[in-house]
Amino acid sequence: MSTAQQVPDILSPEFAADPYPAYRLMRDSRPLIWHEATQSYIISRYEDVERVFKDKSGQFSTDNYDWQIEPVHGRTILQLSGREHAVRRALVAPAFRGSDLQEKFLPVIERNSRELIDTFRHTGSADLVADYATRFPVNVIADMLGLDKADHARFHRWYTAVIAFLGNLSGDPEVAAAGERTRVEFAEYMLPIIRERRGNLGGDLLSTLCAAEVDGVRMSDEDIKAFCSLLLAAGGETTDKAIASIFANLLLHTDQLAAVRADRSLIPRAFAETLRYTPPVHMIMRQSTTEVTLSGGTVPPGATVTCLIGAANRDEKRYRDPDRFDIFRDDLTTTTAFSAAADHLAFALGRHFCVGALLARAEVETGVNQLLDAMPDLRLADGFDPVEQGVFTRGPQSLPVRFTP
């Protein structure tokens, strides 16, 4: 029988090294844990995490973002609820789907991917994390916003500090201070650009945000600045991990890599399975608005609930053989995987379902296609075994590969 002691603490080095055995123990024997250090209730079963995200009866809010991210971004869409959230979401969502995505931003995505691959396509070797994944999505967002390419290194530094702040579960004061400094630096950088752009609108995403209007509501300079800050982190780090993970998964399953290489229409399947098997974001929090019963236990009102996406996505009650990476599995739907009807939890579900899911899909599809074209006999460097890193967000630390140029 499993006991409390046998489930490794989510802040322990053992958990960070490999959370998956711990996730299984939690689902099996401790599906609701009070975690003293993070002052939160941890849930791990698919049915519980799905219920909290969908929140059909209004029992959960996203007020937790008041302390989780407002100190670094300012107030963002993630914290809003009800009509305020719906209006704000309607302002920004069109830029991330449909004709804006296909016509305006797909060329930006393709160009940024190509430019990065050009730096290593003739060399026969690359680190797909350092040379590609950590740069590509952040370059895309900066370019979509119409910001200066020369500033990309700065964006990368900012989003790294912001993600560290979000994942600072143990409360390291230096990490907290670096995150808060980012808010000041980003505002100093961004506010003058927003003011200038308002008077000089173009075809870029920042101009769209400046001009967007729903029911007579516009975004203030501060709103736009906070949203851009969120975009750098929400769209940078996550897609970075997604690209690294899809390649790690395929390189470790060479038959599936060969299948995707031969039939590129399998890329969305491989991406959906990657999101299930190794989600970029392993945990998302919510706050209870009332007393709630989950997996037989009680959560009081006003409590923080930590939803373990990484655990729920491997729930054996939901997926057959869940610890197996299998792009051909029939219990995961690819057609809905990038919409709020998804049957994995990597983008959350419900009102706050990732607004950038289709953009992420476009980036991953473009990236995988171009990399496979550039690297015909792609393989991991001899003897290299990918190591995942991170507890809040997670992905391979590095991915050295070899190929015939």
In the set 35, 54, 75, 89, which binds ligand HEM (CB under 6 A)?
89
CB-wise, 322 or 356, nearer to ligand HEM?
356
Min dist. Cβ of residue 237 to ligand HEM (A): 9
In the set 32, 77, 248, 305, which binds ligand HEM (CB under 6 A)?
77
Site for ligand HEM in 237-296 (CB under 6 A): 238-239, 242, 280-281, 284
Site for ligand HEM in 319-348 (CB under 6 A): 346-348
Min dist. Cβ of residue 5 to ligand HEM (A): 31
Burial level of 269, CB count in 10 A (0-12/13-18/19+)?
A: buried
In the set 33, 42, 234, 257, which binds ligand HEM (CB under 6 A)?
234
In the set 74, 356, 367, 386, which binds ligand HEM (CB under 6 A)?
356
Min dist. Cβ of residue 146 to ligand HEM (A): 14
Min dist. Cβ of residue 6 to ligand HEM (A): 29
User: What would the x/- binding string for ligand HEM be over residues 34 to 63, using CB under 6 A?
Assistant: ----------------------------x-
Min dist. Cβ of residue 122 to ligand HEM (A): 29
Token code pair at residue 171: 């409360």
CB-wise, 284 or 371, nearer to ligand HEM?
284
359 contributes a contact to ligand HEM by CB under 6 A = yes
CB-wise, 124 or 302, nearer to ligand HEM?
302
* Of residues 238, 286, 225, the one with CA closest to residue 73: 225
Give the total of residues touching ligand HEM (CB under 6 A): 24
Min dist. Cβ of residue 226 to ligand HEM (A): 11
Stretch that binds ligand HEM, among 214-222, 248-256, 298-306, 352-360 (CB under 6 A): 352-360
- What is the binding site for ligand HEM (CB under 6 A)? 62, 77-78, 89, 141, 230-231, 234-235, 238-239, 242, 280-281, 284, 346-348, 352, 354-356, 359-360
